[in-house]
Amino acid sequence: MATLGRLWPYVRPHRTALLGSAIAALLAMLSGLTVPLIIQRIIDGPVARGELASLPWLIGLVLLLGVTEASLFYVRRKLNIRPTTAIEARMRADIYHHLQRLPVAFHDGWQSGQLLSRAVNDLATLRRFIAFAAIFLVVNSLVLVIGVGTLMVLSPTLGLVLVCCGTPLMALSYLFETKYKVIARRAQDQSGDLATTVEESVLGIRVLKAFGRGSHLARAFAAEARELRHTELAKARTMAMLWGVLVALPELAIAGEILLGGLGIADGSLTVGTLVAAITVSTYLRWPFDSIGWLLAETNMAASACERYWEVRDVVNTITDPARPTPLPVPVHGHLRLEDVRFGYGDGREVLNGVTLEVRPGETVALVGATGCGKSALTALVPRLADVTGGRITVDGVDIRDLALVDLRRVVAIAFEEPVLFSASVRENVALDGTHADDADIRRALHVAQAEEFVDALPWGLDTRVGEQGLSLSGGQRQRLALARAVVGRPAVLVLDDPLSALDVHTEREVERALREVLREVTSLVVAHRPSTVQLADRVALLSGGRIAMVGTHSELLANSSEYRHLLSTMDKNKEVAVP
């Protein structure tokens, strides 16, 4: 339960409304609990003595208590609906923003379905707990204490019968809820795995159909679904056993009360009104008794959901703003330097072990190397999508770790090899929100990326929604929009991770021609996987063995490096390389 205590910072701003909701629920149940006492007065008073004059007043009082109970339950819902949804919304926003801030390495190690489950399903569970289970776990416990006390006042013998049946009920509820907690956590984890499988199959539907692997993934999905079903059945069996006990023991208590009460009436030690009141109180207490096990199960599900939520929230963000950010010189020239840069993954595997490279303002350097040599890892270090593990990277002489992230990413833009588009309009995909670009800037970026013509041909132009992942567009169209996004903010440093890979020969030539104009204005580091991309650069850097093995012009490397010549021969055999 200590985990649930971590919800307090979210609950505290709304504590008054939630406390009012709990008080309203308690008063509502106490109003209902008062009705049996009025019934006792009616039976032992006007009915027993035949004095019917006061009967309408007592019946009116019962009606008033019923209306009061209903009204207070309405007030309870009105009081807690806004704060509980506000808590859920704030927690969801916090985990979303935390996920946005976490480094790329974190997302590489987590299944998207697990993150989705934590941000949606688990938070819905926590909202239900705060809105209902947390309140009624306290309220029902108080009502049980007050109800048993009332029963003891009415008849100690009948009160003891209820206590004798209620005590083992509490113990069994505790045992069942301990077992239920383990099963509930397993079900939540399996649900996250299942969500990941669904997401991957939907996003990769074209690959699955093309390779005829739909049935394979369907079998994997069915296996995961069966595991989740078995876990849910185990949950249901545990709850069924608990509910069997919850139903049987209160019924046994009422049967015992009827037996002892009947004997009491026979020997004159108990009135009919007292027996009816006692049975009515016991019947009214069935819901508090029955709910204890279910509320404890809900509490455990909430505790499990809370643990899963904080598993993500507790991940330390290693890429943060410095305490006192250093401003970049004005104007920004974009002088990029990598000084003895080292980088390794969490498993101890070092990819870069001493990269030193200078890209002068306005210069374009192509980065080439064998597959897996660390080219993409190096490009991720420049905008701090990951941090160096040794050495440093500077822009205009300032270590990028001394810059505020928003300032760094304002002057450094990147276009990835795999273009990622969002389910939004073309305008939103190109501009995003961080660039504050107007339509003129967007048009210029589209023109540079040779995307203006096909965008204008779309049904609603810039306002056309491109669909999830942009799959309504061709691969080349998606890549050109991603390139337009990279240049729209007029960055000082442009990092291109082979952005031309999905373009046909004709479109590639047009984009290259436009890129040449853009590259004259910015400092560019271009990962090249084909000879035509290499020829966009002023110089070429050969990455080999985790280091820069050679830097020079295309002609110089062709003449002096057999490794470079071999790389060119394997890059794109359908392209002709002009060798000076």
Q: Say if residue 300 is in the same domain as residue 371.
A: no
Q: Which two tokens stand for residue 324?
A: 């006192």
Q: Is residue 579 part of a domain?
A: no
Q: Say if residue 92 is in the same domain as residue 129.
A: yes
Q: What tens digit of pLDDT does each residue of 311-369 get? A: 999 998 888 899 999 998 888 889 999 999 999 876 667 889 999 999 999 899 999 98
Q: Is residue 318 part of a domain?
A: no
Q: Is residue 576 part of a domain?
A: no
Residues facing 519 on adjacent strands: none
Q: Say if residue 545 is in the same domain as residue 458.
A: yes
Q: Among 213-222, 223-232, 294-303, 487-496, which stretch is predicted with the lowest mean pLDDT?
A: 213-222
Number of H helices and E strands in the chain, helices first, is 23, 10
Residues facing 524 on adjacent strands: 364, 494
Are 435 and 516 in contact by the 8 Å Cβ rule? The answer is: no
Q: Is residue 381 part of a domain?
A: yes
- Residue 148 contacts by C-beta under 8 Å, 6 or more apart in sequence? 159, 162, 163, 166, 285
Q: Is residue 41 part of a domain?
A: yes
Q: Say if residue 495 is in the same domain as residue 366.
A: yes
Alpha-carbon gap, residue 415 to 541, rounded angstroms: 19
Residue 578 confidence class, pLDDT cut points 50, 70, 90: very low
Alpha-carbon gap, residue 558 to 272, rounded angstroms: 108
Give the mean pLDDT of 269-290. 85
The last residue of a domain, from among 313, 346, 380 = 313
- Residue 105 contacts by C-beta under 8 Å, 6 or more apart in sequence? 345, 346, 386
User: What confidence score (pLDDT) does residue 540 get?
Assistant: 92
Q: Is residue 214 part of a domain?
A: yes
Buried b (16+ CB within 10 A) or exposed e, 412-421: bbbbbbebeb
Q: Which two tokens stand for residue 553?
A: 């012009």
Q: Say if residue 254 is in the same domain as residue 340.
A: no
Q: Say if residue 381 is in the same domain as residue 289.
A: no
Q: What tens digit of pLDDT does each residue of 194-213 get? A: 777 776 676 666 566 555 66
**Residue 442 pLDDT > 80, yes or no?**
yes
Q: Say if residue 29 is in the same domain as residue 107.
A: yes
Q: Say if residue 267 is in the same domain as residue 165.
A: yes
Alpha-carbon gap, residue 390 to 344, rounded angstroms: 9
Q: Among 287-291, 318-322, 551-555, which stretch is predicted with the lowest mean pLDDT?
A: 287-291
Are 548 and 366 in contact by the 8 Å Cβ rule? The answer is: no
Q: What is the CA 555 to chain-centroid distance, rounded?
A: 51
Q: How far is CA 195 from each of CA 104, 155, 190, rounded to the nearest angstrom?
A: 21, 56, 9
The last residue of a domain, from among 313, 344, 364 = 313
Q: Is residue 529 part of a domain?
A: yes
Q: Say if residue 261 is in the same domain as residue 358.
A: no
Q: Say if residue 414 is in the same domain as residue 307.
A: no
**Residue 173 pLDDT > 80, yes or no?**
no
Give the pairing of strands 364-369 and 493-497.
Answer: unpaired
Task: Determine phi and psi for 161, rounding to 5 degrees.
Answer: -60, -45
Q: How many independent structural domains does the chain possess?
A: 2
Q: What tens digit of pLDDT does each residue of 113-141 get? A: 788 888 888 899 999 999 999 999 899 98
CATH of the domain at 232: 1.20.1560.10
User: What confidence score (pLDDT) does residue 83 get?
Assistant: 94
Q: Say if residue 151 is in the same domain as residue 241.
A: yes
Q: How far is CA 348 from each of CA 352, 371, 542, 575, rounded to the nearest angstrom?
A: 12, 20, 24, 38
CATH of the domain at 359: 3.40.50.300
Give the pairing of strands 364-369 and 539-544.
Answer: parallel
User: What confidence score (pLDDT) does residue 129 get?
Assistant: 93
Domain, as residue range, for 16: 4-313
The last residue of a domain, from among 254, 278, 313 = 313
Residues facing 544 on adjacent strands: 547
Q: Is residue 319 part of a domain?
A: no
Q: Say if residue 304 is in the same domain as residue 349.
A: no
Give the mean pLDDT of 460-471. 79
